[in-house]
Structure 1
Amino acid sequence: MRTDLGGDGSIVRSAGLTARFTELLPGGLCHAFWLTPDDHGRERHEFYGFTVPASGTAAGV
């Protein structure tokens, strides 16, 4: 399911991968996603993100 955030941003929710956020930036894009795995009976939240400029070089956030 995709939720438009207006402008060039959106959030995508899908089975297995909790949610993904993508936003077009001047000269590139920003992409982030988060997971909520079970860790010995307790939820653990993990957030991952990166930016990709038009040159194609990625940088982790």
Structure 2
Amino acid sequence: MTELKKQVGQRIKEARNQKGITQREFGKMLGVSHTTVNGYETGKQNLTLDTLEKVAAALGMAPKSFL
């Protein structure tokens, strides 16, 4: 797992927590399971650019905020 994946995942987690959204709720927003959300946040699950755009839109942020 690369350092970049960990950093992106940590930024997603921080933004999600600031909004008060659980992993389960966030998964429903993205159309994925809470397990997949956990994978994104820990850097264990690959994140496509399309998914990053969905994540950003769901959190009301720009995709570049996570890079």
Tell me if both proteins adopt one fold, taking TM over 0.5 as the criterion.
Answer: no
Q: Which has the higher contact order (CA 8 A, sep 6+)?
A: 2
- Whose strand proportion is higher, 1 or 2? 1
- Whose helix proportion is higher, 1 or 2? 2
Q: TM-score, structure 2 length as denominator?
A: 0.21
